[in-house]
């Protein structure tokens, strides 16, 4: 069988739009009738997804697979780095937690991971017509190049043509293109086959002199001048995406939903569906003075639960969260947030910290004990909460995933019951609900990604405010179709088709 064609997208820096462009290309080439798969050799992200076989991959590759119409698989992101406290990372290899390493330790094992990445790419190429590869950060970081497995080392090893993307919105894009190419070795530079200018605001025709300069100076064609697209509502990879978000204010008939922005917040993209609802103001709170009195306060997941709990106490947010709940406010803890709500977090194996036990917020009589093995599963769970924010969805079945290390024990009634795990029947209680419903917790990620369940919870919040139910609004358009439609007119499609060998 002929190996799949390749096209790689690298960037002049982080956050220039590589992931978004790859997602758009996945959908556009799928429309050409090709079997397409995304690939990123090494990703660093706290937003992760669980594949059907229980493996863990970066959220971006999961989204790109959906855009390509492909089943998300661990081969699409063979190495995932999940930052923890104290400059450490949990290293996930082919979907499974492998080791927790400091940066220097990780660099010593990079050579062991190169064949893993190449083997994963080879398996994808054997099953698809085209693999779209995403780079990481910039290929021109000269201090990191010897340890790079996601940029030019991979492009050379696979002989992949490269598109170089730059972000004009941050300024200096001409210098970024020229400087990046200048810092590449001649053999690396030869693989760069085109440039893409991203996030253009206003009239792109005004860029004509700049584009002419780029063609003359670099000898590379400009194959795309892409518009700035606000409110894409595509999953983000890490919390730096929250830095530029304004803090909105809820209107008189809007629900105020606040999410605590933990220093190592994980999987916060699972709340994106809330932001798309017309009656919801979703905001992320890092300052105690900004908490206010939301209709629903969410304590989200964390990659380092104990460290983030200590950070909450130092900032004063922990005290505000406790006061909010004790005053009758509705508080929902998800995964690490559930663990924080309990009385104690025990770590006998040193999974997160050297201290054997840490005090929780004490809002639920629940004790968590960390375990050295990580549970990553796709699950279906029935909502059984009789009070609190999830009670309005009682009886509905949620499709989500678990991603945690350890277990929590409580005598409180559960918020959900897992009825299926990895496709096999189950009957396992999950989470906890306080007697008055003010504090609810669950290990289940993805509750708010399902329109019917999300709407039931929101209409429950509306009823508490004395507002009438809104019910399901019109289903949103496929975000990947919308993305592809928005970018297609601004890409040199004939040139891109030729680049991957299409007539």
User: Which amino acids are annotated catalytic?
Assistant: 335, 445
Distance CA(372)–CA(424), nearest Å, equals: 24
Contacts of 416 (CB under 8 A, 6+ apart): 381, 382, 383, 384, 385, 390, 398, 429, 430, 431, 442, 444
* Contact (CB, 8 A) for 262 and 224: no
Strands 331-334 and 296-299: parallel
* Contact (CB, 8 A) for 41 and 79: yes
Distance CA(396)–CA(398), nearest Å, equals: 6
Distance CA(8)–CA(163), nearest Å, equals: 6
DSSP readout, 277-317?
STTEEEEEE-SGGG----SEEEE-EESSHHHHHHHHHHHTH
* Contact (CB, 8 A) for 366 and 441: yes
C-alpha angle 327/432/338, rounded to 5°?
A: 75
Other residues' Cβ atoms within 10 Å of the Cβ of residue 363 = 22
Contacts of 232 (CB under 8 A, 6+ apart): 20, 479, 483
Distance CA(431)–CA(414), nearest Å, equals: 5
CA-based diameter of the chain, in Å?
Answer: 71
Strands 162-167 and 192-200: parallel
- 101 closest CA partner among 93, 423, 378, 3: 93
């Amino acid at each position: 069988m002929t190996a799949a064609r390749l096209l790689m997208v690298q960037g002049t820096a982080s956050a220039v739009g590589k992931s978004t462009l790859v997602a758009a290309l996945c959908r556009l080439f799928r429309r050409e009738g090709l079997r397409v798969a995304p690939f990123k050799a090494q990703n660093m992200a706290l937003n992760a997804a669980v594949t059907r076989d229980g493996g863990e991959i970066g959220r971006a590759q999961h989204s790109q697979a959906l855009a390509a119409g492909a089943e998300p698989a661990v081969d699409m992101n063979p190495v995932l780095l999940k930052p923890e406290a104290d400059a450490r990372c949990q290293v996930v290899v082919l979907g499974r937690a492998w080791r927790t390493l400091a940066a220097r330790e990780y660099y010593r094992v990079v050579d062991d991971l190169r064949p893993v990445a190449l083997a994963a790419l080879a398996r994808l190429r054997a099953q698809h017509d085209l693999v779209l590869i995403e780079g990481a950060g910039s290929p021109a970081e000269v201090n990191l190049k010897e340890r790079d497995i996601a940029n030019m080392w991979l492009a050379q090893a696979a002989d992949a043509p490269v598109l170089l993307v730059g972000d004009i919105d941050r300024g200096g894009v001409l210098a970024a293109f020229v400087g990046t190419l200048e810092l590449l070795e001649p053999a690396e530079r030869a693989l760069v086959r085109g440039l893409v200018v991203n996030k253009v605001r206003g009239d792109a025709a005004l860029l004509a002199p700049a584009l002419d300069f780029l063609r003359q100076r670099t000898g590379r064609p400009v194959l795309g001048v892409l518009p700035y697209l606000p409110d894409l509502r595509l999953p983000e990879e890490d919390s730096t995406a929250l830095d530029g978000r304004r803090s909105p204010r809820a209107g008189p008939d809007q629900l105020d939903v606040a999410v605590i922005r933990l220093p190592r917040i994980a999987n916060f993209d699972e709340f994106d569906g809330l932001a798309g609802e017309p009656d919801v103001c979703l905001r992320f709170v890092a300052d105690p003075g900004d908490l206010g009195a939301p209709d629903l306060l969410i304590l989200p997941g964390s990659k380092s639960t104990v460290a983030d709990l200590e950070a909450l106490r130092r900032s004063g947010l922990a005290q505000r969260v406790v006061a909010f709940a004790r005053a009758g406010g509705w508080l929902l803890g998800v995964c690490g947030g559930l663990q924080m709500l309990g009385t104690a977090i025990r770590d006998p194996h040193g999974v997160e910290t050297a201290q054997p036990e840490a005090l929780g917020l004490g809002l639920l009589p629940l004790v968590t004990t960390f375990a050295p093995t990580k549970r990553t599963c796709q699950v279906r769970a029935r909502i059984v909460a009789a009070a609190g924010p999830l009670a309005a969805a009682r009886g509905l079945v949620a499709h989500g995933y678990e991603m945690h290390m350890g277990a929590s024990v409580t005598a409180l009634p559960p918020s959900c019951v897992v009825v299926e795990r990895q496709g096999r029947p189950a009957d396992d209680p999950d989470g906890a609900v306080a007697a008055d419903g003010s504090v609810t917790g669950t290990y289940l990620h993805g509750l708010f990604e399902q329109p019917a369940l999300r709407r039931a919870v929101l209409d429950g919040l509306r009823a508490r405010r004395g507002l009438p139910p809104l019910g399901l609004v019109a289903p949103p358009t496929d975000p990947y179709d919308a993305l592809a439609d928005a970018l297609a007119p601004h890409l040199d499609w004939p040139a891109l088709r030729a680049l991957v060998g299409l007539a």
